[in-house]
Amino acid sequence: MNTEMKNTNPEASREEVSKLKLAIQKSGRLHDDSIKLLKECGIDISNGVNKLKAEASNFPIEVYFLRDDDIPQYVEDAVADIGFVGENVVYEKKKKVSVEEKLGFGKCRLSMAVGRNDEYTGIRFLEGKKIATSYPVILSDFLKKNGVTAEIHEISGSVEIAPGIGLADAICDLVSSGSTLFMNGLKESETILQSQAVLIKNNHLSTQKQVLLNRLLFRIQSVKKARNNKYILLNAPNNKLSEIIALLPGMKSPTVLPLAEEGWSSVHSVLNENDFWDIIEQLKAAGAQGILVVPIEKMIV
Ligand code: ATP
Ligand code: ZN
């Protein structure tokens, strides 16, 4: 019994070495979607929001909970091998990391906003103005690229109140719906960057870690594909089958099964969300009936 226990110890430490270390936001807008994506990838982590790290029970991964601003630095320094973080933070921090995959959540844009009553005629409006932002690096690159000289006033939060209290003439901040701008008497005047959460990785991953990352990326890509596609089932009269099949892209070709009712078939296929309504209308016009659309959980192609 004793020897058995000793024998398992080296195994455990070898396993430790080969775990992929992932940094995600501790709390905030990216936290829940990061956990949800892991879950959809079949990775269950013991819930440890108040802890610094948590382990997955069914994948060799260790999750670190950090402030989003610190994630690029930790990944560059290999404290974490990979991280989920907004592109806005990646471009602002300019750390030596690689962006591997867009994750499809945390969508927002970094925009310029000016007073609601200002007559914004174009980027030249900003010449000589005072601009408040938490993104001085991205903003100064943008101004330089457009040949505009302005004074950048860096503040870490509540940027939208700066014009109202006379601290700035304009702001550069993250926007999703625009309601915060509106409530502060501002209007969006220029988009600098479209952003979403991305997976970043350390530039010097060991082969062993890269193999684990490839497994994770494969799962993430399957989840993303599934989100963009729907499974469709419909009934079609046999004399309309070829017309209906021609409308369906499918993964290879649609599945066609005879119905109990003579002269009818059931057709199954996969549709992309973007073409969805167009194709449904055409299918109805072509004689399809009893159309059922169901979500796909994973899609392996
Ligand atoms: P932390 O405490 O981790 O530093 P934070 O206050 O900097 O958190 P959040 O407000 O939680 O950050 O936003 C995290 C990320 O969510 C942003 O960097 C951005 O990529 C994304 N995001 C999506 N929509 C928005 C939005 N409307 N406003 C701000 N960030 C958004
Ligand atoms: Zn932050």
- Interval 47-58: pLDDT, tens: 665 688 999 989
Ligand found nearest the CA of 83: 1
In whole angstroms, what is the distance from residue 175 CA to residue 114 CA? 13
In whole angstroms, what is the distance from residue 115 CA to residue 59 CA? 50
CATH 3.30.70.120 domain locations along the chain: 229-295
pLDDT greater at residue 236 or residue 299: 236
Question: Probe ligand 1: pick from 108, 110, 171, max atoms within 8 Å of CB?
Answer: 108
Mean pLDDT along residues 81-88: 98
Mean pLDDT along residues 216-220: 97
Class of domain 229-295: alpha beta
Question: According to CATH, what is the number of the domain 108-195?
Answer: 3.40.190.10
How confident is the model at residue 48, as a pLDDT?
61
Residues 14, 55 contacting (CB under 8 angstroms): no
Residues 86, 196 contacting (CB under 8 angstroms): yes
**Ligand 1, atom 22: nearest CA belongs to which residue?**
106
Asked: is 3-105+197-226 a CATH 3.40.30.10 domain? The reply is no
CATH 3.40.190.10 domain locations along the chain: 3-105+197-226, 108-195
Task: Give distance in angstroms: CA of 116 to centre of ligand 1.
Answer: 24
- Ligand 1 atom nearest 88 alpha carbon: 20
**300 band by pLDDT with thresholds 50, 70 and 90:** confident
The set of protein residues with a Cβ atom below 6 angstroms from ligand 1 is 25, 28-30, 67-69, 86, 88-89, 106, 108, 174, 176, 195
In whole angstroms, what is the distance from residue 272 CA to residue 277 CA? 10
In whole angstroms, what is the distance from residue 73 CA to residue 97 CA? 9
- Ligand 1 atom nearest 87 alpha carbon: 20
Task: Give distance in angstroms: CA of 267 to centre of ligand 2.
Answer: 49
Residues 39, 46 contacting (CB under 8 angstroms): no
